[in-house]
Amino acid sequence: MIKEKEKFMQEALLEAKKAAALGEIPIGCVIVWRGQIIGRGHNLREQTKQTHDHAEMIAIAQANRFLNSWRLEETELYVTLEPCPMCSGAIINARIPKVYYGAPDEKAGTAGTLMNLLTDPRFNHRVKVQKGLLRRECALLLSDFFAKLRKK
């Protein structure tokens, strides 16, 4: 039986696959509130040419509209790759209480790899982090994407 949190990470993986289909680095995110997905997003940076169009930012914007609030208390964020500093900052600003991520990001990960902004006691909000949820699937999607890119 698939646990609920794995089901939500599968939804984030579905989002990541939408990014891959567009030639974008496959990263996906969903935001859950009271058992319901209220925000979804996948990386769209090359399509939109917008710095902020990471999966998490798009999902947060959608959840903001759903709850009609810049605060996303009582939500959980699921993302296939460890958040970068921009996305970690947005998670803190939105007061999201819990983040699940799949694969670590050795280059820009700020939820435990290079540093941990999400748990830093100097900010006015701290986030509970669970890393490595469906890590293999999340990492494989990325490594497959880059392998295909190198072949071209």
Measuring CA to CA, which residue among 7, 74, 71, 66 is closest to residue 38? 66
- Closest CB to a second copy among 20 and 44? 44
Cα–Cα distance between 87 and 52 in angstroms, integer? 9
User: Within 10 A of 75 (CB to CB), how many other CB atoms are there?
Assistant: 24
Subset of residues 69 to 98 that bind a second copy, contact rule: CB under 8 A: 69-72, 84-90, 92-94
- Closest CB to a second copy among 3 and 49? 49
Residues 115-144: x where in contact with a second copy by CB under 8 A, - otherwise, as a string: x-x--x-xxx--------------------
When asked if residue 57 is in the footprint of a second copy (CB under 8 A), the reply is: yes
Measuring CA to CA, which residue among 56, 109, 148, 28 is closest to residue 117? 109
Question: CB–CB of 134/8 below 8 Å?
Answer: no
The distance of closest approach from Cβ of residue 75 to a second copy in the complex, given in angstroms and rounded to an integer, is 11
DSSP 85-141: HHHHHHHHHTT--EEEEEE--TTT-TBTTS-BSTT-TTSS---EEEE-TTHHHHHHH
The distance of closest approach from Cβ of residue 45 to a second copy in the complex, given in angstroms and rounded to an integer, is 5
The distance of closest approach from Cβ of residue 136 to a second copy in the complex, given in angstroms and rounded to an integer, is 26
Q: Please identify which of the residues 56, 74, 82, 137 carries the catalytic annotation.
A: 56
Residues 25-54: x where in contact with a second copy by CB under 8 A, - otherwise, as a string: --------------------xx-xxxxxxx
Token pair for 26: 């496959």
Positions at the binding site for Zn(2+): 54, 84, 87
